[in-house]
A = this chain, B = another copy of it.
Amino acid sequence: MARTSTPALAVAAVACAAVGVVPVLAGHAEDEASAVFGVRMPAGYRNWQLISVAHEAGSLNDLRAVLGNDVAAKAFREGITPFPDGAIIARLAWRHEPSAGNNAAFGRTQSFVAGAPTNVQFSVKDSSRYPGTGGWGFGQFEGGRPNRDEALLGTCFPCHSQAPGTADFVFTRYAP
């Protein structure tokens, strides 16, 4: 499986996580799926189990949560890779927003909370459907609508290819 770490791809990886890069097409049934991999938004993903949290500073400026469906969550908890078929990982993100109320309660300017949601990304493990990308299909959604930009979705796998070889293309680790 290809590994790459060129600066060009690293920049593309940043673009992959950016917000609202292109207009979203909607209104047709076939447009419910995100570009390239045909990933659709899984029902009920918001109530999946928490895997971990993260903070991207800089231009992304967001707080993130990674959730997993039951198959993914079990694999994360038990440290099993490669992830079995059926595993779906959801990455939610919100603006990294100062909280005036929390700062007042703490008596210090230190508190940041989840602001407006930015986008939601999914990694779907299906080794039959996605043999050329490590068994993973990727999708991105803004405001519930699929991102249909093929160039953008094309950056997902090159970026995930930079995860450690034992991690099955997944950056996130389970936070106890």
Residues on A lying within 8 angstroms of B by beta carbon are: 5, 7, 10-11, 13-14, 17, 46-47, 49-50, 52-60, 63-65, 67, 73, 92, 94, 96, 99, 101-102, 104-114, 117, 159, 162-164, 171-173, 175-176
Q: A52-B114, A54-B112, A112-B57 are in contact. Are A5 and B104 (CB under 8 A)?
A: yes
**Given A47-B49, A65-B65 in contact, is the A54-B113 Cβ separation under 8 Å?**
yes
**Contact for A54 among B50, B59, B63, B159, CB less than 8 A:** B63
Q: Distance in Å from the Cβ of A68 to the closest Cβ of chain B?
A: 11
CB atoms of B63 and A163 under 8 A apart: no
Tell me if B58 and A53 are in contact (CB < 8 A). no
**B13 touching A55, Cβ below 8 Å:** no
Closest CB in chain B relative to A172 CB, distance in Å: 8
Are A171 and B102 in contact, with the CB atoms below 8 A? yes
Quickly give the copy total for this chain: 2
The smallest C-beta distance from A143 to any residue of chain B, in angstroms, reads 10
Checking B55, B67, B73, B102 against A63 with a beta-carbon cut-off of 8 angstroms, the contacting residue is: B55
Q: Is the CB of A55 within 8 A of B55?
A: yes
In the complex, A104→B164 CA distance in Å?
11
